[in-house]
Amino acid sequence: MTQLFRTFLIFLCLLTNIAAFAIEPAQPAPTKTETIQTAFPEGKKLHDAHCVKCHQSMTFEKPDDIYSRPERIIKQYDSLKTQVQRCVTNTDLMWFEEEVDNVSHYLNEQYYHFEIKE
Ligand code: HEC
């Protein structure tokens, strides 16, 4: 292999690397919660944006541990909604009833599976 050809190959490699970066910006690997299927995408969006970080810091980095911990206090859908409202208020979020409902439904669908009598 001639020196010139080798230089050309190295140049080509660099070029394709640069092109690959330009076309496909580095994306963080999706976390578990980003790949979840849900009937309540609005609830999931609100939850992921406002609720995960604080719970995650309390529960050893696994964001959903708090909902499935053995000592969890919530035993029915009404209490789930009350707790969601409590966390919303504590966080100084000004959510409409609809947003609280959406997130409660989302959490119920994913973790609690209570029967909903509404
Ligand atoms: C600033 C921290 C913080 C934020 C932000 C927060 N929470 Fe919480 N959350 C807590 C704490 C602390 C507990 C545990 C309460 C307890 O054990 O009595 C908790 C518990 C809960 C539980 C009960 C878990 C169980 O089954 O035992 C639910 C449901 C919940 N939060 C929902 C939410 C939702 C929805 C949001 C977003 C709107 C949210 N939280 C935001 C701190 C937070």
Structure tokens given for 49: 């944006």
Express each pLDDT in 8-50 by its tens digit: 655 654 555 555 545 555 555 555 556 789 999 999 999 999 9
Atom of ligand 1 nearest to the CA of 112: 26
Mean pLDDT to the nearest integer, 88-109? 97
Atom of ligand 1 nearest to the CA of 53: 5
Check residue 118 and give its pLDDT.
61
The CB of 100 under 6 Å from ligand 1? The reply is: no
What is the rounded distance in angstroms from the CA atom of residue 16 to the CA atom of residue 24? 12
Q: Classify residue 48 by its DSSP letter.
A: H
What is the rounded distance in angstroms from the CA atom of residue 15 to the CA atom of residue 20? 9
Most informative mutation of 44, 79, 83, 103 for ligand 1 (most atoms within 8 A of CB): 83
Structure tokens given for 9: 């190959």
Check residue 10 and give its pLDDT.
59
- Listed as own residue / partner, the contacts of 56-63 with beta carbons closer than 8 Å and 24 or more positions apart are 63/31, 63/32, 63/33
Q: Which of 90, 79, 98, 91 is nearest to 40 (CA)?
A: 98
Structure tokens given for 63: 């964001």
Express each pLDDT in 52-66 by its tens digit: 999 988 876 677 889
Enumerate the domain spans of the chain: 36-112
Question: Which pTM value belongs to this model?
Answer: 0.77
